[in-house]
Amino acid sequence: MRSLTLGPALAALALAAVAVSPAAAQRSDAVRCAPDNGGLTLPTGFCATVFADSLPGPRHLAVRANGDVFVALTGRGGGANRIPGGVMVLRDADGDGRAEMRIKTGSFSASEVELRPNAVYTENGTAILRFTWPDDALEPRGDADTIVAALPAGGHQAKTFVFGRDGALYVNIGSRTNACQEQDRQSGSRGVDPCVELETRAGIWRFDANRTGQTQASGERFATGIRNAVAITTNPSDGALYVMQHGRDQLYQNWPALYDSVRSAESPAEEMLRVARGNDFGWPYCYFDTVAGRRVLAPEYGGDAKTVGRCSSTTPNVGTFPAHWAPNDLLFYTGTSFPARYRQGAFIAFHGSWNRAPLPQAGFNVVFQPMAGGRASGRYEVFADGFVSPEVLSNGRANQAPGAVRRHRPTGLAQMRDGSLLVADDAMGRIWRIYYAGAR
């Protein structure tokens, strides 16, 4: 199913713009940033436009050479009010920083979209799909081919992926459970040992990007012990695969004799992982405890919040971040329009917490992390904030905040060819485009 939506411009003018818009999409001289930056708080010298709004669950993004933005949509609502997801193309025909045209393809829930010459790859939770999509076209040619089918359903559902420098497809298959307990998320329930989930989940699988009809058995379990890596990318500077892991939940709720509520709110750290073939990052047996400052044995496997045990043999992380912030995208900045200190550093979109009580909920932001030698170098800094109102931080789940408060949740990042940064929010359906004002 495909749909076309035009902005306030007359349809005839918008359709005429299709023929001339690709170059215009890269202009920044016509940009007028929103007076309030679309609600965002940004560092001095930066400003933002609302590139698109009211989209049905935008997640990850990809940018074509002509400036068109492809968006993976999960959809929104339920029952008769359900707005389906799919893949949407956004076109900024006049280069003013706001997309006037949007065309959606498909009717499925997608979190990932990646581009290849004359092709668009996406996923629907259980399969990796490829559309034949001519360069500069707004719609695909025909139906999608299935590259990989019958991936595990349920649990951490999104099958986010990236193309490696070798051209292969690297797919995140998240865990079904929180900590591989005999009874998931139940107090005192011991861990399954060995954790059978690791045979088909909680890791990165490698597939042939060009071959249709594959199953999980056709691929290679490239790395394991990663609970869920919605954020997955390659670093252009070294070609290495990096992910951000969603750490486990409920240390206090399930093991109150070992943890108080504050320690559980502040552990485990969210980890940045540099992933190579054969790595094991420890889930479910290990987690990174912020008080101990290292990976320790999980209580489900006999841990006491101090013992390292078999975690000593796991592959170390290359950076840590506050607990339960839920990292959903990772981008290494290669542009030149932002100040030089941002180049080769990492932007991370954090979706925000639901489980930091009794502390305030936190992490609804985009941070910048300097990098050096393939590792986080120094402390991260909050780059974009203001996504949620104070009421959200004291209310629990961001999507359930009462009233007409701001409850945007950052979930996708992309770099435009002019070096500006796109940020997607899947809770209220907005995409911002962030510029460095001194570069225009």
On the question of pLDDT at 416 being above 70, the answer is yes
Q: Nearest to residue 270, comparing CAs of 348, 202, 200, 198? A: 348
The candidate with the shortest Cα–Cα distance to 273, out of 265, 283, 263, 264, is 283
Please tell me whether the peptide bond between 84 and the residue prior to it is cis, using omega within 30 degrees of 0.
no
Question: Is 14 a residue whose pLDDT tops 90?
Answer: no
Q: Which of 165, 164, 87 is nearest to 131 (CA)?
A: 87
- Smallest Cα–Cα separation from 281: which of 273, 290, 291, 289? 273
Residues 6+ apart with CB under 8 A from 272: 242, 243, 244, 245, 317, 318, 319, 320, 321, 330, 346, 348, 369, 376
**Confidence class of residue 25 from pLDDT cuts 50, 70 and 90?**
very low
Digit-coded pLDDT (tens) for 77-125 = 988 889 999 999 999 999 899 999 999 999 999 999 999 999 999 999 9
pLDDT band at 390 (very low <50, low <70, confident <90, very high): confident
Q: What is the pLDDT of residue 438?
A: 74
* 247 pLDDT higher than 50: yes
Select the CATH number that applies to the domain covering 2-439 from these four: 3.50.50.60, 2.120.10.30, 2.30.110.10, 3.30.2450.30.
Answer: 2.120.10.30
Q: What is the pLDDT of residues 289-325, one digit of tens each?
A: 999 999 999 999 999 999 999 999 999 999 999 999 9
In the predicted model, is pLDDT for residue 6 greater than 60?
Answer: no
pLDDT at 32: 83
| Residue 175 scores a pLDDT above 90 | yes
Say what the pTM is: 0.93
Sheet with 241-245, strands from edge to edge, namely 231-234, 241-245, 270-275, 319-321
- The single residue listed with the structure tokens 């040992």 is 193
| pLDDT given for residue 425 in this prediction | 98
What value does the mean pLDDT take over residues 277-288? 98
**Alpha carbon of 380 to those of 157, 318, 364, 411, 432: distances in Å?**
28, 13, 14, 18, 21
SS3 percent helix, strand, coil of the chain, rounded to 5, is 10, 35, 55
Contact partners, residue 202, CB within 8 Å, separation at least 6: 173, 174, 175, 195, 224, 225, 226, 227, 228, 283, 284
Percent share of the chain, pLDDT over 90: 85
Is 232 exposed, middle or buried (CB count within 10 Å of its CB: 0-12, 13-18, 19+)?
buried
Contact 281, 314 (CB under 8 A): yes
Structure tokens at 34: 């929103």
Transcribe 409-423 into DSSP letters.
-EEEEEE-TTS-EEE
- What's the CA angle centered on 374, arms 373 and 380, to 5 degrees? 100
Mean pLDDT of 393-401: 59
- pLDDT on residue 289: 98
Alpha-carbon Rg for the chain, nearest whole angstrom, is: 21
- Read off the tokens for 248: 């486990």
What does the alpha-carbon distance between residue 356 and residue 270 come to, in Å, rounded to a whole number?
13
Return the closest-CA partner of residue 144 out of 134, 153, 133. 133
Over the chain, what is the mean pLDDT?
A: 92
- Calpha distance 182→184 (Å, rounded): 6
Q: Is 352 helix (H, G, I), strand (E, B) or coil?
A: coil
Give the other-Cβ count within 10 Å of 269's Cβ.
Answer: 22
Cite the beta strand spans of 92-189 per DSSP E: 101-105, 113-116, 119-123, 128-132, 145-148, 161-163, 169-173
**Is the confidence at residue 17, as pLDDT, over 90?**
no
Q: How many Å apart are CA 28 and CA 51, to the nearest integer?
A: 13
Q: Token pair for residue 169? A: 């497809």
* Domain ranges for the chain: 2-439
Residue 398: pLDDT above 60? no
